[in-house]
Chains A and B, each alone.
Chain A
Amino acid sequence: EPEVTQTPSHQVTQMGQEVILRCVPISNHLYFYWYRQILGQKVEFLVSFYNNEISEKSEIFDDQFSVERPDGSNFTLKIRSTKLEDSAMYFCASSDRALGSGETQYFGPGTRLLVL
């Protein structure tokens, strides 16, 4: 069964450093998403992406964050200058239609980011 994959599974970085989290969505999907989950808290929406542009973004997704689909298979989340509070599990997800049409999302296994 097709699945969303994410690399790396764990990333440790120093505060102020840039990190890039990588995702390979399910191949025929057109909508891509990033979520984060701080330890012990709920899964929070960051950004959705369709047709090479951002569809929606949350208040969390400030100027430190950016997303890109550099080729036909990868979808990346970049954090420009990491802060301690960016430490969380980051989940990528994809769907083949917009959520508003009743579509489901398929989540990857996550990247655990630790900022020291």
Chain B
Amino acid sequence: SQKIEQNSEALNIQEGKTATLTCNYTNYSPAYLQWYRQDPGRGPVFLLLIRENEKEKRKERLKVTFDTTLKQSLFHITASQPADSATYLCALAGYSTLTFGKGTMLLVSP
């Protein structure tokens, strides 16, 4: 069955550092992969989408890479800020479904 794993449940970093979150998947060949942010008690908010033929995508302080050979995506937040503290979800898209990983909770300390 399809499986999505996000590297750790929680990641603590200091303000100004780069946060790197990992998403690995098995038994799946997605056309593209998405990253979402979820704050406690709120719905997921779309951040970035990367297609299978793209190696890297950037948006402001965010960068996503996608390696279909390794079946892995890396999500980077540079110059992290306490406001970046949230849970970050990786999601793989089917025709009309999204399959989410459990998420990695990021805590950025001042």
Residues of A at the B interface (CB closer than 8 Å) are 4, 31, 33, 35, 41-45, 48, 50, 55-56, 58, 89, 91, 93, 98-100, 102, 104-110, 112
Contact = CB atoms under 8 A, between A and B. Distances in A.
With a 10 A CB-CB cut-off, give which of A4, A99, A107 has the most chain B CB atoms: A99
Interface string B48-85: 01010000000000000000000000000000000000
Contact of B44 (A56, A98, A107): A107
A102 B52 CA distance: 11
B45 A99 contact: no
A114 to B, nearest CB: 13
* Prevailing SS type, chain A contact patch: strand
A91 B101 contact: no
Interface residues of B, number: 24
Given A43-B89, A91-B44, A110-B41, A105 B95 contact: no
B3 to A, nearest CB: 11
Contacts of B27: none
B34 A104 contact: yes
A99 B93 contact: yes
A100 B93 CA distance: 7
B96 A50 contact: yes
A45 B97 contact: yes
A93 B97 CA distance: 11
B45 A107 contact: yes
B99 interface: yes
B49 A98 contact: no
Given A100-B31, A102-B32, A110-B43, A44 B100 contact: yes
B46 A55 contact: no
Nearest to B45: A107
B98 interface: yes
Given A89-B41, A100-B93, 13 more contacts: A33-B98, A44-B100, A45-B98, A55-B96, A56-B96, A91-B44, A99-B96, A104-B46, A104-B49, A107-B44, A109-B42, A110-B41, A110-B42
